[in-house]
Amino acid sequence: MADEGNLEAEKDPTSNIGNASAGPSLDMGCLTRVLGFHLRMANVAIFQDYQQTMAGLSLTPKQFTVLELVGCNPGVVQIDIAELLSMDKATTMALVDRLEARSLLERRPSRTDRRRKELFLTEEGKKVLQEARELIALHEKRFTSRFSEAELKSFVEQLRRIYRPLPD
Amino acid sequence: MADEGNLEAEKDPTSNIGNASAGPSLDMGCLTRVLGFHLRMANVAIFQDYQQTMAGLSLTPKQFTVLELVGCNPGVVQIDIAELLSMDKATTMALVDRLEARSLLERRPSRTDRRRKELFLTEEGKKVLQEARELIALHEKRFTSRFSEAELKSFVEQLRRIYRPLPD
DNA sequence: TATTGTTATACTCTATAACTATA
DNA sequence: TATAGTTATAGAGTATAACAATA
């Protein structure tokens, strides 16, 4: 039992974060050993830079993702996007609604199964997507530049290991 | 220029995700090369397992983080938590409000600077925190077991490289 | 009966801005 | 003047449940 499920806050020298530039330098307790915590912190850091970069286009990361998916898969339906991104179908609905309200994509009923609404980018949507790709490339570079080619490859592989249900 | 800011969707064999168990197997376009995308997917995967694990305690990851920080740093003030977690102070306010409403922590005005409200866990808060730590340890293990000790260490180091402003 | 999309509802996260009390 | 906390407000993400149309 001494090793099972133990997240007691033993003191260790890496137990402080936040001593980056000024910061309060708090004791992080068990958080230093919680993968989800580091993942969330990394996500927040990337998101903040993303927001600054994309302020002009006002596309959230998820909105960009959907735009890219529709761009690369014309006629894709909501349910497939929902499954791929692990979203509820109601959530996906709201997301697509916003993009449609901005005339970046449109829904067209499938001719073979009229329950399904196929998604297509509008001309405006294609233009915005291309602009977004260019901005995101610059944004990404600010982070990927902290890694060598090999490091980046293994880092991405490890991230995929987290979100792939089982190694395949 | 051929290499700068290029996120065009060249076909490559890793360009498909979502072929995990059933899934639609869409073309992911430039997303396979977007670090933020992989990070978000990993975050979602961990969050979903987290939610199942913590359903009984109904503590969000951030609520757990704050509880742990207050537990390890009795008397810490909101502004320090906000800075450490890169949150707005209004956001922090709402977060602490919810924890206080559930009587997991309490605010006490500092005696040296009455603008500051020091945070302390209640007895109930300490109990809940300990339960949460144990549940989270089990939850974490479902992901960390996909890595060797050395892999895990380098993975966490790489995540920190993302969220630390500058290597120090 | 199952699936796709839809609507209604609600809660959380998040940020902005303006305000109060204190330093 | 600056700082810590607070309140009000609003948009986005998320989930649940119920419903309509179609298969």
Domain B58-163 has CATH 1.10.1760.20: no
Here the contacts of B54-57 (C-beta below 8 Å, separation 24 or greater) are B54/B132, B54/B135, B54/B136, B54/B139, B56/B135, B57/B128, B57/B131, B57/B132, B57/B135
Partners of residue A46 in chain B, C-beta under 8 Å: 35-36, 39, 162
Which 94-133 residues of chain A approach strand C with CB closer than 7 Å? Answer: 96-97, 107, 113, 115-117
pLDDT of residue A22: 47
Residue A163 contacts B, CB cutoff 8 Å = yes
Res. B168: pLDDT tops 80: no
Distance from CA(A26) to C1'(D1), angstroms, rounded: 29
Q: By the 8 A CB rule, do B105 and B67 touch?
A: yes
Res. B31: pLDDT tops 60: yes
For residue range A40-74, what is the model confidence (pLDDT) as tens digits? 999 999 988 998 888 888 899 999 999 999 999 99
Strand D bases near protein CB (under 7 Å) are 3-9, 12-18, 21-23
Residue A5 contacts B, CB cutoff 8 Å = yes
Which residues fall within 8 angstroms of residue B12, CB to CB, at 6 or more apart? B32
Q: By the 8 A CB rule, do B59 and A15 touch?
A: no
pLDDT of residue A24: 62
The predicted model gives A26-50 an average pLDDT of 92
Distance from CA(B79) to C1'(C20), angstroms, rounded: 17
Amino acid at A122: T
C-alpha torsion A110→A113→A115→A121, nearest 10: -20
pLDDT of residue A8: 33
Selecting from B4, B65, B164 the residue whose C-beta is nearest the C-beta of A37 gives B65
Res. A6: pLDDT tops 90: no
pLDDT of residue A145: 95
Query: Which of B12-21, B37-46, B72-81, B151-160 is the least confident region?
Result: B12-21
Chain B nearest C-alpha distance from A11 (Å): 11
For residue range B96-155, what is the model confidence (pLDDT) as tens digits? 999 999 999 999 999 999 999 999 999 999 999 999 999 999 999 999 999 999 999 999
Kind and range of the H or E element at A119?
strand A117-121
Distance from CA(B90) to C1'(C17), angstroms, rounded: 11
Residue with nearest Cα to nucleotide D15 C1' = A88
What's the mean per-residue pLDDT of chain A? 84
Cα dihedral A118, A122, A128, A130 sign: positive
- Return the ∠ at Cα B88 (arms to B102 and B119), rounded to 5°: 40
Domain ranges across chain B: 58-163
Task: Please tell me whether residue B13 adopts helix, strand or coil conformation.
Answer: coil
Chain A interface, best mutation among B3, B25, B28, B43, by max A CB count within 10 A: B43
CATH number for A59-163: choose from 3.40.50.300, 3.30.70.20, 3.40.640.10, 1.10.10.10: 1.10.10.10
Q: Which residue has the higher pLDDT, A131 or B5?
A: A131
Q: By the 8 A CB rule, do A71 and A129 touch?
A: yes
Judged by CB atoms closer than 8 Å, whether chains meet at B35 and A164 is answered as no
Residue with nearest Cα to nucleotide C15 C1' = B88
